Structure formats: structure tokens, C-alpha cells
Amino acid sequence: PIDGWRVQIGSVKYETSADKIIDSLAQVSEIEPHTMWRDGLYKVQVGDFKTMEHADQLRRQLNEKGFPDAFVVAAQVRPANLPDSTSISSATRAARAEEPASTPSAQQSEGWRIQIMSVSSMANAQRAKQDARRKLGMPVYIAEVNGMFKLRAGDFSTRSEADRAKQKAEQMGYKGAFPVRSRIQR
């Protein structure tokens, strides 16, 4: 990673809320979002730019496309992702399966999820997420960790619940699945 710029389009308390922002973005752009957990919030950012000016061009376009609160932030960006252009596409992606709705009463707590795979692009992670949700019949989340996108399934209070889900995941073809400590939806 190098020093660069991104456009932040959301900062929310719940991962399902971040997924909704990503779904809204997918309706107006094919730009791959970056979601990270920092300072107790899920931050949704887009772009990898060398200059603030290029990031600001994207910010203005996103403002016009329905993200009025988008703003430019300094970030560690991946040189391989630096675009030749700052233009966003108006193409619409296929609709994604919907996450469970977050409500004001939803709470997060420490618990367990099952990591079922790790991929190098958000696009691959989104496709795999849909498939995993269908196969496993439970919520599937994407966590960006050191430039990799980890698919983690379920919201389990105990390790034993997570271990049972791990067995189910392995039976469904996710060999090498393993439990991880995580903030979960309750």
C-alpha cells in the first residue's frame, strides 16, 4: 500500500447497515467498495487515488448520484487498483440477496463467526457471499483484512455453536472453515 486518497460514503455502527450502503452504491456504480472496522464503526470507502483532486472528482460524481455526505479521506491505497479515470459507471449490478434488516434495537456483542474463505477482490467476495448465504442459510459478512476479503458466516454466542456451524460449512464444501472471534449481531 501507498499513501493516497479514497472517498468515504458511509460510517455506520452495524455491518448490515454498511451492506445496505454498498447495495445502494451498486445501483449507480461498479466501483468496488472497501469496508473496514475502525473506531467502533464500519467505514465504507471507494476508490484508490494518488491525488486528492482525482478523489474529489469522484466525490462530486457520487454527490450527484445520491451520496450527498461523501467526502475525501487520506488512506493507504493499493497501487494495482489506481484507475486511469475517475469516472463512475452508470451501469447497474444485479440485485444482491438482502441482509437481515438492522433496526435501532439491534445490538452487537462479542461472539463467533465461521470464516469460510478469503479472496483478493471485493467483486469475488460479493459473488461468493451470495452463494454462501444460499448454501448455508445464515448471514454471511465480508471483512477486509490487510487487503484480503474474508467471508465469515453466522452470529454465534458460543464457540460450541460456531463449531457445529463449522461442521455444516465443511459438509457444504467449505473445507478449511474455522471459527473466529467477531462482533456479532444480536
* pLDDT given for residue 80 in this prediction: 59
* pLDDT given for residue 79 in this prediction: 65
- Amino acid (one-letter) located at 64: E
* pLDDT given for residue 98 in this prediction: 26
pLDDT along the chain (186 residues), means of 10: 89 86 83 83 89 91 91 82 48 27 51 91 86 92 80 93 94 92 80
Which uninterrupted H or E stretch holds 37? strand 33-38
pTM value is 0.49
* pLDDT given for residue 103 in this prediction: 34
- Amino acid (one-letter) located at 58: L
Grid coordinates standing for 132? 454462501
- Which residues are CB-contacts of 163 (< 8 A; sequence separation ≥ 6)? 179
